[in-house]
Chain A
């Protein structure tokens, strides 16, 4: 079900200062998609999620889920969380320690007065879905982190909510388990075709799980788009830098050509993916390390940059190298079995499609 948010603001007052947790947020979350709110800590993403679910009251604006307005300052509507019919997975999972798995998962049905036999059946089906078949009578606190996470998911799903919300659900797991659980979650959500809102500060999680991502900063939504759009074709330097490792090079627009924008920078004249900037505009050229393909020796040609290896660090699957080209230092990766060493002259050719220009 579609979620529409209009002009949503929320301010906190602390130590005499006003913090804008949400600043006039407008957002439409499309139905049946996995939508991620991504941003650094304190950007307002969790506040936005808690406003959608009803655990927090905004200061202004309107939220509607499907056809129903659940919150509106102007119209005086404030539907409490228990009336919104949503499901949520909390960061701490919030598994009730005094109940077993069955009661934890069955709770949303029990409080709705669903018939006992039906509760039993639905809980069993949901547990089967999250691959915890037969876990009904286990005490919830005796499960592993990954299992608790699946119980929390089952509880969020069991009452067939209109929307399911995730508040950094993987951040409590260790790195290896997080990766496995992320894949599981992706598989579960892929089968469900449900509207899901997912909050995280982990860019890999966001890229891997989402159909669409909204990047937030300081209570505002900076940019919205598909993972590929956000990664390759960000509009702002903040988003380009936040979503992945990037070399940021100051540049000045020289001219616009049919499909390219030519810029002058410390690397020379570079043809980039076309962006509408006027000639002479100060911009930032954003180069992802994985698209700098190093070849030994010097060369010349369009978009070819000559450089020297300044430093080299072995990180296992690759060498991370720093390349000096004129006054610029660029980060790149080379194969771990490469013969190249510090001081060697190299060159690389930049594909204009991977030369992203963003406003400074």
Chain B
């Protein structure tokens, strides 16, 4: 028993170690080598070339502004929403749950495209509307700018920041605030001196996760930054490996090393903050109930602000894509536009062999990848939760490592590896890359499922006379099913929309949905893009609804 567990642990360390360490090592090796197919002698040439590039300074400045700007904005918005939801009497609190979940169904690429359709300076729909309405000479907004990128990225990172801050705020022990009030501090002073400092670890954790995510973000910079020549590190890397005649994976690896080191460092800082944040959570056993702050006259205006945010984040992006998929070319909604509506783009897409291939590949990767990924996650979660040896600690750290991987950088690392193997340019390459990068998304729900299965439940079955096999079949597996289902669906919905890794690893024949959509975006084929995008949203939404349904069914079984 002990021996077979140790064997299992070490083989998992080997598998996960390969998945997470291999791209990092290959990236490092690649950065010191002569070229993608010929490693040659170790050399610093690529570092010298990459870091003496005069364009790099601009790129770094842009990246810093973009990353910090979007993370600050996302955190502040999340704080505002979390406070309104948990601590005030704002109406329609259900809207907050929707706000925190629904944006996850809209892939980042499509969200960015929809904002380009709304606010691009030449024919963005909102711009045109405003220009006509206010009789302006030029478009009032330009989304193809650093400000535009910051806004869109912040809206995309907002749900994640909210999901970190809101629970911390909900479990806040109100006695801490009440005592501050008793000692004479007013509401604002209490907020600044007590509430926010106590929540600091959660706020910092949300901010740092925002930094990591925006640093890795490729959808926003490629759709909104590249048209205006505003490059950040992610797009700078992309240009090195995919544009022009001389793609240079060595130079990309050299730049990527810095991004990866930054990202890994930040994610460990993030882990320290979340651990501290859990330490700060102080609900006493007595029934706690945060005191609700009466908003009074501010109630409706604040609700209007939240409703406006929901409109920006959910309704507008989907509506604009749906609309664009039916009109022949970009035009402001009008009687003429509605008269011209047709299914032409839908027919084009469904007749386009490349789009169909991408759809087929994405579905294959989502189903196959999620199945294999969950299988691996089950074992990894079992070992990290139930075995608890030094080896299982190593496994946990390895799994967590991939949480910090910026897709495009890790893609370059994998590229160096796959090009040496027959897997190059096959779907297997994408499959392995997907599982390596998204493993934490499978392990987390499985780990919490395993935590629920107290060892007494298992032992009790053995004492009752059931064999190990029967115990597995009747006790352990049924208790794990909800975790397995939600892990599968989470992974599948990640894979169906995957972009950042795919733009590096995808080759002719292995196109996936997001890559195909990016191609349409580069070519300005907005109608076809929207039709394919809606198909993607429908698949991903169906998966999320299925997950909710399955979750409810299992809850119902408990009742």
Contacts and interface: CB of A to CB of B under 8 A. Distances in A.
B463 interface: yes
A54 B460 CA distance: 11
Given A97-B558, A139-B559, A142-B559, A92 B454 contact: yes
A70 interface: no
Contact of A98 (B461, B463, B478): B478
Contact of A81 (B459, B470, B478): B459
A94 B456 CA distance: 5
Interface string A90-125: 111110111000000001100110000000000000
Interface in B435-470: 454, 456-457, 459-468, 470
Q: Mostly helix, strand, loop or mixed at chain A's interface?
A: loop
Q: Mostly helix, strand, loop or mixed at chain B's interface?
A: helix
A81 B559 contact: no
Contacts, number: 73
Q: How large is the interface on B (under 10, 10 to 19, 20 to 34, 35 or more residues)?
A: 20 to 34
A51 B468 CA distance: 18
A141 B558 CA distance: 7
Contacts of B454: 92, 94
A68 B474 CA distance: 29
A293 to B, nearest CB: 41
B557 interface: yes
B456 A81 contact: no
B479 interface: yes
B465 A85 contact: yes
B557 A55 contact: no
B475 interface: yes
A141 B557 CA distance: 11
A332 interface: no
A81 B461 CA distance: 9
Q: How large is the interface on A (under 10, 10 to 19, 20 to 34, 35 or more residues)?
A: 20 to 34
B464 A98 contact: no
Contacts of B456: 90-94
Contacts of B463: 53-55, 81-82, 84, 86-88, 165
Nearest to B463: A88
Contacts of A94: 454, 456-457, 459-460
A111 B464 contact: yes
Contacts of B457: 94, 96
A154 B439 CA distance: 43
A246 to B, nearest CB: 33
Nearest to A155: B464
B557 A107 contact: no
Contacts of A111: 461, 464-467, 470, 474
Interface in B151-207: none
B6 to A, nearest CB: 15
A88 B463 CA distance: 7
Choose among B461, B463, B467, B468 the residue with the greatest number of A CB atoms under 10 Å from its CB. Answer: B463
Interface in A165-188: 165
Nearest to A57: B1
Contacts of A108: 464-466
B465 A82 contact: yes
Nearest to A167: B456
A85 B468 CA distance: 15
B13 to A, nearest CB: 22
Choose among A91, A92, A142 the residue with the greatest number of B CB atoms under 10 Å from its CB. Answer: A92
Contact of A139 (B470, B478, B558): B558
Contacts of A83: 465
A84 B475 CA distance: 20
A287 interface: no
A266 interface: no
Contacts of A112: 465
Given A88-B460, A98-B558, A139-B558, A107 B478 contact: no
A159 interface: yes
Nearest to A100: B557
A98 B479 contact: yes
B555 to A, nearest CB: 11
Contacts of B559: 139, 142
A247 B557 CA distance: 56
A80 interface: yes
Contact of A80 (B462, B478, B479): B462
B478 A82 contact: no
A98 B462 CA distance: 17
Nearest to B482: A98
Contacts of A54: 462-463
Contacts of B479: 96-98
Contacts of B470: 111
A112 B464 CA distance: 9
A97 B452 CA distance: 10
B459 A90 contact: yes
A83 B470 CA distance: 13
A96 B462 contact: no
Given A90-B460, A94-B457, A97-B479, A82 B558 contact: no
A94 B457 CA distance: 5
A97 B465 CA distance: 19
Interface string B372-409: 00000000000000000000000000000000000000
B486 to A, nearest CB: 16
A44 B402 CA distance: 42
Interface string B197-224: 0000000000000000000000000000
Contacts of A98: 478-479, 557-558
A55 B464 contact: no
B466 A96 contact: no
Contacts of A97: 479, 558
A107 B462 contact: no
A165 to B, nearest CB: 8
A97 B453 CA distance: 10
A96 B474 CA distance: 10
Interface in A233-252: none
Given A82-B465, A82-B467, A55 B558 contact: no
A159 B465 contact: yes
Contacts of A90: 456, 459-460
Nearest to A103: B474
A159 B461 CA distance: 13
B462 A55 contact: yes
A165 B466 CA distance: 17
B475 A96 contact: yes
B327 to A, nearest CB: 51
A80 to B, nearest CB: 7
Nearest to B461: A107
Contact of B464 (A91, A107, A165): A107
A42 to B, nearest CB: 19
Contacts of B478: 98
Contacts of A85: 465
B387 to A, nearest CB: 16
B521 to A, nearest CB: 47
Contacts of A141: 558
Contacts of A87: 463-464
A97 to B, nearest CB: 6
Contacts of A142: 559
Contacts of B557: 98, 139
Given A88-B463, A94-B457, A96-B457, 8 more contacts: A82-B465, A83-B465, A94-B459, A98-B478, A108-B464, A111-B467, A111-B470, A165-B463
27 contacts: A55-B459, A55-B462, A82-B462, A82-B463, A82-B464, A82-B465, A82-B467, A84-B463, A85-B465, A88-B460, A94-B457, A96-B457, A96-B460, A96-B461, A96-B475, A97-B479, A98-B479, A107-B464, A107-B466, A108-B464, A108-B465, A108-B466, A111-B465, A111-B474, A112-B465, A141-B558, A159-B464
The 7 closest A-B pairs by CB, nearest first: A94-B460, A94-B456, A108-B464, A111-B466, A81-B462, A90-B456, A88-B463
Interface of B: 454, 456-457, 459-468, 470, 474-475, 478-479, 557-559
Interface of A: 53-55, 80-88, 90-94, 96-98, 107-108, 111-112, 139, 141-142, 155, 159, 165
